[in-house]
Amino acid sequence: WGTFRSELLGSSDESGSCSQSGRLLSTRQDLDFQLSQVQINSILRSNEQSVSVPEFYGGGLSSVRKFESNQLAANMPNEDHRSAATCLQSKGMLFGVFDGHGGWACAQAVSERLLYYIATAMMSKQSLEELEKCMEHCRPIPPILKWYKHHADYNYRDSASLYIDQLRVFWQELLDIEEHGEGMSPIDALECAFKRLDADISLEAQVPLSNDLMKSTAIQVAFSGCTACVAHIGTDGIHVANAGDCRAVLGVQEEDGSWSALPLSLDHNSQNQAEVERIRAQHPPSERDTIVTDGRLLGVLLPLRAFGDVRFKWSCALQQSVLSSLESAVDLDSLNLYQYMPLNYKTPPYLDVTPEIMYHKIRPQDHFLILGTDGLWDELTNAEAVRLVGEHLSGFHLQRNLKLGQMHELLLKRQARASPALDTNGATHLIRHALGTGEYGELCQERLVSMLALPEDLARMYRDDITATVVYLNSDLARSHHS
């Protein structure tokens, strides 16, 4: 979509101007549409979420004050998903954004399951033994996560039993590890959970299942794919695990009141030369020029790490065997996309999901963490996103301990803005500006309308699905740790 979008809208440094949105509108002269401010707000806010976190949980202060999240679809159905939960058996909160491709099935499944795997890996052996006893005696198991879900975040009801069965096998294997003791550290739990869930997704597509619907679903999950960026925020700091081209960026307020962006993830795509070299090193020198072509893995896939996508992991024989096991013609029709074999497919696997993990100890000047799918970062730089959220935050919360001169300067900057924030939700504020910012940094109503009014069959050509989650950190807790 990016190439086609660039041809229509011009280069990325021009696409923010109202003149460019005029070009977009001119391609739609056959449609006479206008959206009112009420309609614009309704579209932008339909999936927004705002959750205040209790100041105390798990016997201590929470590192998170609140979080705000939102999504805007371009695909129908939306291929982006998001997750947020408190770990009830260990201290910390988990936030994730997931960007699907080749369909929505993999991102849907990973958004439901990955946080359980992470939380389970961090649980103590005693807690895991309690889970197993409850399963053995058919008693309800103690809750592992407290989920924060938007009403649009639905679950795969038909696959729930499969998911809990696989999770149980995982914790049984953890119980067999003698040194598991108090559970894994966040960094070990994140890596283990990413790799284990991907292995389970692969396995579930290969084994016989109880009914055709579950079999079809398992195959769709495995053959589609998704990138993932997950943050675990505990009392000691932030761990971010990333596989693909979603992104985590920390908003830092400097002493002079300005905002700076600190990336807590790196994109895994062809723009990351170290990532390209990592993949090339895993294959024979004869394949060096074919592994990444036209900026894509084997000329097909943009992200270079992902869940699912077994077309880039399994042997050709295994792929054909699994696809041919589906007897239903309807199922085969829905899976036609996966019949295509990439060129130069010689020494699989070419893709894995091992996350790159970064740790950051929270400081008093660290105010929020932005998690976003690549649809957000296609439109905004790290610095632009942090500035937008920082100024939005400043509009509602005057920082403590500001000197009079700093306060006066802050008020002048706020007054100089074209208009006050239209949204109370920081994630909505990000999405509005990502799609509607004009050439000089102002909100351009014409551009925003042109991007939101596109019909379903055209929207994907001009923009991607966008998901943004803004996590506001507890600066008081950071100050107490630094005092």
Q: What pLDDT, in 10s, does the model give residues 369-401?
A: 999 999 999 999 999 999 999 999 887 444 445
The whole-model pTM stands at 0.87
Q: Residue 327: what residue type?
A: E
Residue 329 has pLDDT above 60, yes or no: no
SS3 track for the chain: CHHHHHHHHCCCCCCCCHHHHHHHHHCCCCCCCCCCHHHHHHHHHCCCEEEECCCEECCEECCEEEEEEEEECCCCCCCEEEEEEEECCCCCEEEEEEEEECCCHHHHHHHHHHHHHHHHHHCCHHHHHHHHHHHHCCCCCCCCEEECCCCCCCCCHHHHHHHHHHHHHHHHHHHCCHHHCCCCCHHHHHHHHHHHHHHHHHHHCCCCCCCHHHHHHHHHHHHCEEEEEEEEECCCCEEEEEECCCEEEEEEECCCCCEEEEECCCCCCCCCHHHHHHHHCCCCHHHCCCCEECCEECCCECCCCCEECHHHCCCHHHHHHHHHCCCCHHHHHHCHHHHCCCCCCCCCCCCCCCCEEEEECCCCCEEEEEEECHHHHCCCCHHHHHHHHHHHHHHHCCCCCCCHHHHHHHHHHHHHCCCCCCCCCHHHHHHHHHHHECCCCCECHHHHHHHHCCCHHHHHHHCCCEEEEEEEECHHHHHHHHC
Q: Residue 408: what residue type?
A: H
How many angstroms separate the CA atoms of 310 and 318, rounded?
10
Q: Can you give the pLDDT at residue 398?
A: 41
CB 99 within 8 A of CB 107: yes
Q: Can you give the pLDDT at residue 395?
A: 72
Q: Can you give the pLDDT at residue 311?
A: 95
Average per-residue pLDDT in the chain?
A: 85
The arithmetic mean of pLDDT across residues 433-444, rounded, is 84
How many angstroms separate the CA atoms of 387 and 393, rounded?
10
The arithmetic mean of pLDDT across residues 136-150, rounded, is 92
- For the ranges 5-19, 148-162, 260-274, 315-329, the lowest mean pLDDT is seen at 5-19
How many angstroms separate the CA atoms of 444 and 328, rounded?
50
How many angstroms separate the CA atoms of 422 and 119, rounded?
37
Return the percentage of the chain with pLDDT > 90, whole number. 64
Q: Which class is domain 2-482?
A: alpha beta
Phi, psi dihedrals of residue 322, rounded to the nearest 5°: -70, -45
N- to C-terminal Cα separation, the chain: 50
Residue 327 has pLDDT above 50, yes or no: yes
Q: Residue 172: what residue type?
A: Q
How many angstroms separate the CA atoms of 190 and 174, rounded?
14
Residue 12 has pLDDT above 60, yes or no: no
Q: Residue 354: what residue type?
A: T
Q: Can you give the pLDDT at residue 23?
A: 44
Look at the alpha carbons of 14, 15, 18, 23 in this order and tell me if their dihedral is positive or negative.
positive
Cβ neighbours around 78 below 10 Å, total: 19
pLDDT tier, 40 (very low <50, low <70, confident <90, very high otherwise):
very high
Residue 197 has pLDDT above 50, yes or no: yes
Q: Residue 378: what residue type?
A: D
Q: Residue 275: what residue type?
A: E
Nearest C-alpha neighbor of 394 from the set 361, 360, 362, 429: 429
- For the ranges 311-315, 359-363, 404-408, 441-445, the lowest mean pLDDT is seen at 404-408
Q: At what angle do helices 37-45 and 445-452 cross, to 10 degrees?
A: 60
Residue 218 has pLDDT above 70, yes or no: yes
Whole-number CA gyration radius for the chain: 23
Peptide bond into 263 cis (omega under 30): no
Residue 8 has pLDDT above 50, yes or no: no
CB 243 within 8 A of CB 275: no
pLDDT tier, 285 (very low <50, low <70, confident <90, very high otherwise):
very high
For residue 421, what are the contacts with CB-CB under 8 A and spacing of at least 6? 392, 395, 396, 429
Q: Can you give the pLDDT at residue 438?
A: 78
Q: Can you give the pLDDT at residue 84?
A: 97
Residue 483 has pLDDT above 70, yes or no: no
The arithmetic mean of pLDDT across residues 287-298, rounded, is 96
Phi, psi dihedrals of residue 345, rounded to the nearest 5°: -90, 95
Q: Tell me which residue has tokens 């923010």.
A: 16
